[in-house]
Amino acid sequence: MQVTEQMKRDLAQDGAIVVRGLFSPERLERLREAFDYGIAHPSPQHGYVYKGTPDEHFNDYGNFANRDVHLAAIKALGLGEFVAALWDSGHVWFRGEEIFIKKGGRAGRSPWHQDTSYSPMSGPHMLNLWASFEKLPRKNSLEIVRGSHLGTQYNGSSYDDPSNPNRPLWIDTDWPQLPNIEAERAKDPASWDVLCWDLELGDALVFHSGTLHGGAPVTPDCPDRHTLVYRFYGDQLFYRPLPTGGANYDYDISDLNDASLTPGEPYRSRYSTQLR
């Protein structure tokens, strides 16, 4: 895939781009092999978000036992070189994968959030490469607030109450609570500048991990969605510790903080793998 200057500018300024045809049918099949392996060999923390509710869906992430499988796919598909070109970064690291399955036409929106609420890092060189194995119309695709990676760092979502998707992740923090974007859009559809695209097979969303993003529900006319996300970072990534006052979460993710680093220092996660 040829990376253009326009792609670089749009990613830096808007925080998200759609890359049409990043995966040919053969390349998409290679990606699907990694996805299927992850489903067949889940991590201990795999499970169902909003379990027991109509919005229940499968999720797994960061399975180190499967890292070699994903690294092999990333290298075979040249994704490290592609990401490096988007940033003009001399180095690229693979941070981890995430797998989603929504099916049966019933699972609703994922809550608006920023991945940086869950990770001790900030800076321009971090992104998610988001690809689904179904054709997705806009109403079933992921939505991203344009330019939000350049603005406020919000508290995260606790992901434990579909009736209250803005329930705070962090108990004691000066990060403001997530805005009720859906309520505001219901009153005024233009209240938030939201990016969203129809996605064909082989298309990929590429977006900064600090953007506000959410959505991608399934509906009776688009009943299933299988999505693989790969997360990368580059040279311009810096340590920004997470709050430490406790969290409404399954486990204490503040242990991702690194006491050996000072805020603003270049961040190289001990959980990542250098690609180049």
Please state the domain extents for the chain. Answer: 5-264
Average pLDDT over residues 141-159: 96
pLDDT band at 258 (very low <50, low <70, confident <90, very high): very high
84 phi and psi angles, rounded to 5 deg: -60, -40
Whole-prediction pTM value?
A: 0.95
Which residues fall within 8 angstroms of residue 23, CB to CB, at 6 or more apart? 31, 77, 131, 201, 202, 203, 204
User: So what CATH class is 5-264?
Assistant: mainly beta
Q: For residue range 67-97, what is the model confidence (pLDDT) as tens digits?
A: 999 999 999 999 999 999 999 999 999 999 9
Highest mean pLDDT among 21-35, 40-54, 160-174: 21-35
C-beta separation of 162 from 57 below 8 A: no
